[in-house]
Structure 1
Amino acid sequence: MILDCAVIGGGPAGLNASLVLGRSRRKTVLFDDNKPRNAVVSESHGFITRDGVDPQEFKRIGHEELAKYPDVEIQKQRVVRVNKEDELFNLEAEDGTLFQAKRIILAIGFKEILPDVKRVKEFYGKSLFSCPFCDGWEMRDKALAVISDNEAASHMVKVASNWTDDLIYCTNGRQLLSEEKSLLESRGIRVYEEKIRALNGENGKLTEILFEDGGAISREGGFITPEWTLASDVASSLGCKLNDRGGVESDEMKRTNIEGVYACGDVSLAGASQLIFAAAEGSMAAISINAAMIEEKFS
């Protein structure tokens, strides 16, 4: 059987794309190896009716809803190879099963590379986070830190200040421009440019930041700026053009530069990490595919 669409990636973008395709009676396979970027967190926020949901519970509900649509199949495995031959895409799953599809949706997402700070993994997803809009409410009015040597981190500092008046900025050795430092400190945000020796705390709860010069400061949590890299090489193997943020370039209809390949979610947004954005992008990609196939039917 030739599929109408193969959806690669089972996060909110891939789930919502599969839902819309299933409701449009399109033969669809959703590939999900269950290795999400947000695996370290126990709650996801900002999605109405699902605020505070465990990401795995979100996925379980999604799979349950997709099961109502006979044209959608879920393959709980990774796609290891994709190539385009004539007008069809050939896909190979990790168990060796072969599939053919008329369209591809890339909802592959990203992997995170955490800052080079000792013990940061112990606190990430528990008291250190990457998105103030996702987790700022839970950290409100606490003694927080933004830990980042990224040149664009000042924006994160400004955003994080919305949830607390007790905020510091640790640059982990990067020296700020004097104007930038003066602006932040004039708003009561202390800047620490010393290299960080380690983080301290227990059971994922940050209590202290230790500096290489021997100094230390108590903190209850905060935010970091991980680097992102594509979670799969499928996009590059297909020849998809990347944008300047490392994601897959797509137009307003989620079409990439490769005919028949669409991109949605984190891999397309390359910066906006909220579930509700990703789900909306998945819906847009599926609607775009459905519209194209309807036009083909009547052309």
Structure 2
Amino acid sequence: MNYHCAIIGGGPAGLNAALVLGRARKDVVLFDDSQPRNGVTHASHGFITRDGVTPAEFRRIAYEEVLKYPSVRHWNTLVTDIQRNDHGFALRTSSGELVQADKVILAAGLKEVFPEIEGVAEFYGKSLFNCPFCDGWELRGQPLVVVSETPGIFHKVKLLLNWSSDLVVCTNGHDILTDEQRAQLASKGIAVVDTPITAFSGENGLLERVHFVDGSQLERSGGFIDPALLPKADFHEALGYETAPDGGIATDAMGRTTVSGIYAAGDSAYVMPSQLIYAAASGSKAAVAVIADMTEEEWK
């Protein structure tokens, strides 16, 4: 079957794009392997009418709403290749199917790569988080650790002062802060530890201590850690779209990439902050762009 639009990724960006396209009576196929990046967290926040919803419940409600439109189809599989042809784009799935679509929205998002510290997986999403806007409220007033290997840690610490003044910065052995930044942090009573971290410890996903390579320990009840973010699905070589300096897919304000017929939304386009509400909005805009472009093409 030939679809008007294929959507790669079933997060808030892809789901909202499918909703808008379905309501516009477009034939849509949504590819989603049911492995959302936020699946490890206990709840999602900052989305009006859904504040505190679990990722699983958010997806259940979203699919219930999206799939009531008869022109929207969901395939629980991965897309492994996309090639342009005379009729638009041919998409091949991990299960061997070949699907044809006029337009493609890339919304597979990002995957997280964490520093090699023992215990990260145990605590991430329970007492260690990435986004202050998503989970700062739950850790308000607590003694927190902020772990990062990138210069962006300075800005994150300034943000986190909105939720807690008891902060310790850990660079995990990386020289990422300037002397001026260190002085500013010290003036706010924020200590910086450059010693590499060996492990996090605690019980039932609740952080209690940070352990360092020199044998020292730091008592903390939660914190924030910066993973490296990489595209979950990368079709740059096959399609030739431009990427932005931050590594995301370069788009215009409506999600159009530099390749005609290819759009990007959500974390795939590094829409920041990385929150549900931002991702959903970008998915809606990309869908509107698809409809607008198809309308002009059909008119001509």
Amino acid at match of 1:224: I
Hey, what does 1:219 align to over in structure 2? 220
CA drift of 1:266 comes to 0.4
Amino acid at match of 1:102: D
Q: Does 1:33 align with 2:71?
A: no
Amino acid at match of 2:274: S
Q: Sequence identity of aligned pairs in percent?
A: 49
Hey, what does 2:296 align to over in structure 1? 295
In the alignment, the residues of structure 2 paired with residue 106 and residue 59 of structure 1 have an alpha-carbon distance, to the nearest angstrom, of 18
CA drift of 1:146 comes to 0.2
CA drift of 1:272 comes to 2.5
The TM-score, its normalising length taken from structure 2, stands at 0.97
Hey, what does 1:147 align to over in structure 2? 147
Aligned length in residues = 299
Q: 1:64 to 1:247 in 2, by over 3 A?
A: same
Amino acid at match of 1:115: P
Instruction: Tell me the secondary structure at the aligned position of residue 122 of structure 2.
Output: helix
Hey, what does 2:120 align to over in structure 1? 120
Q: Does 1:269 align with 2:232?
A: no
> Contact 2:271/2:282 (CA < 8 Å) preserved in 1?
no
Alignment of 1:183-202 (within 5 A): 183-202=184-203
In the alignment, the residues of structure 2 paired with residue 17 and residue 127 of structure 1 have an alpha-carbon distance, to the nearest angstrom, of 32
Hey, what does 1:173 align to over in structure 2? 173
> Contact 1:106/1:235 (CA < 8 Å) preserved in 2?
no
Amino acid at match of 1:251: D
Task: Give the unaligned 5+ runs of structure 1.
Answer: none
Alignment of 1:60-75 (within 5 A): 60-75=60-75
In the alignment, the residues of structure 1 paired with residue 33 and residue 206 of structure 2 have an alpha-carbon distance, to the nearest angstrom, of 29
> Contact 1:107/1:264 (CA < 8 Å) preserved in 2?
yes
CA drift of 1:149 comes to 1.9
Q: 1:270 to 1:116 in 2, by over 3 A?
A: farther
Q: 1:235 to 1:23 in 2, by over 3 A?
A: farther
Instruction: Tell me the secondary structure at the aligned position of residue 19 of structure 1.
Output: helix
Instruction: Tell me the secondary structure at the aligned position of residue 237 of structure 1.
Output: helix
Amino acid at match of 2:192: V
In the alignment, the residues of structure 2 paired with residue 202 and residue 30 of structure 1 have an alpha-carbon distance, to the nearest angstrom, of 39
Hey, what does 2:234 align to over in structure 1? 233
Amino acid at match of 1:74: H
CA drift of 1:297 comes to 2.3
Hey, what does 1:5 align to over in structure 2? 5
CA drift of 1:162 comes to 1.1
Instruction: Tell me the secondary structure at the aligned position of residue 39 of structure 1.
Output: helix
In the alignment, the residues of structure 2 paired with residue 69 and residue 271 of structure 1 have an alpha-carbon distance, to the nearest angstrom, of 29
Hey, what does 1:17 align to over in structure 2? 17
Hey, what does 2:158 align to over in structure 1? 158
CA drift of 1:238 comes to 1.5
Measured against aligned partners, the alpha-carbon deviations of 1:160-184 in whole angstroms (never above 9, x if no partner) come to 1110111111111124332211100
Hey, what does 1:55 align to over in structure 2? 55
Larger deviation, residues 186-195 vs 105-114: 186-195
The TM-score, its normalising length taken from structure 1, stands at 0.97
> Contact 1:5/1:27 (CA < 8 Å) preserved in 2?
yes
> Contact 2:272/2:278 (CA < 8 Å) preserved in 1?
no
In the alignment, the residues of structure 1 paired with residue 295 and residue 271 of structure 2 have an alpha-carbon distance, to the nearest angstrom, of 30
Hey, what does 2:42 align to over in structure 1? 42
CA RMSD in angstroms comes to: 1.2
Larger deviation, residues 89-98 vs 132-141: 89-98
Amino acid at match of 1:199: F
Amino acid at match of 1:30: L
In the alignment, the residues of structure 2 paired with residue 241 and residue 122 of structure 1 have an alpha-carbon distance, to the nearest angstrom, of 37
CA drift of 1:237 comes to 2.1
In the alignment, the residues of structure 1 paired with residue 157 and residue 87 of structure 2 have an alpha-carbon distance, to the nearest angstrom, of 48
CA drift of 1:203 comes to 1.4
Hey, what does 2:103 align to over in structure 1? 103
Instruction: Tell me the secondary structure at the aligned position of residue 116 of structure 2.
Output: coil
Hey, what does 2:94 align to over in structure 1? 94
CA drift of 1:87 comes to 3.9
Consecutive aligned runs of 4 or more in structure 1 exceeding 3 Å deviation: none
CA drift of 1:236 comes to 3.4
